[in-house]
Amino acid sequence: GQQLNQSPQSMFIQEGEDVSMNCTSSSIFNTWLWYKQEPGEGPVLLIALYKAGELTSNGRLTAQFGITRKDSFLNISASIPSDVGIYFCAGLGGSNYKLTFGKGTLLTVNP
């Protein structure tokens, strides 16, 4: 089946630093999604990308849908302590309903 390789697995940064994480796949996806999950909660959608090359921002977050449709990245600028959580990428390929999730990036922000 389709797999997503998400990196890094974890990040420890200082408040104010910028963050970058990415997902790659050997398969083509039609939709890329980025979620954030806080402890004990369900994932919350941050950004949805629907077109190759699309660059979308949501506040301090920016994500891009790779031109090859096999990758996506998420950047967080000027991190703050409330950015702490696990960030997941997810891709939707040729088979509907079946989102493929990355294993997540655990972000820790030191004040």
Residues that bind another protein (CB under 8 A): 30-31, 33, 35, 40-45, 48, 86, 88, 90, 92, 96-99, 101-104, 106
- Closest-CA residue to 71 (of 8, 36, 25, 7): 25
CA angle 44, 33, 23 (to 5 degrees): 115
With beta carbons less than 8 A apart as the criterion, state whether 37 and 85 touch.
Answer: yes
Choose between 52 and 86: whose C-beta lies nearer to another protein: 86
Q: Pick between residue 26 and residue 41 the one whose CB is nearest to another protein.
A: 41
CB of 49 to another protein, least distance (A): 10
Minimum CB distance to another protein, residue 17 (Å)? 23
**Which of these, 18, 25, 26, lies nearest to 90 by C-alpha position?**
25
Nearest approach, Cβ of 78 to another protein (angstroms)?
26
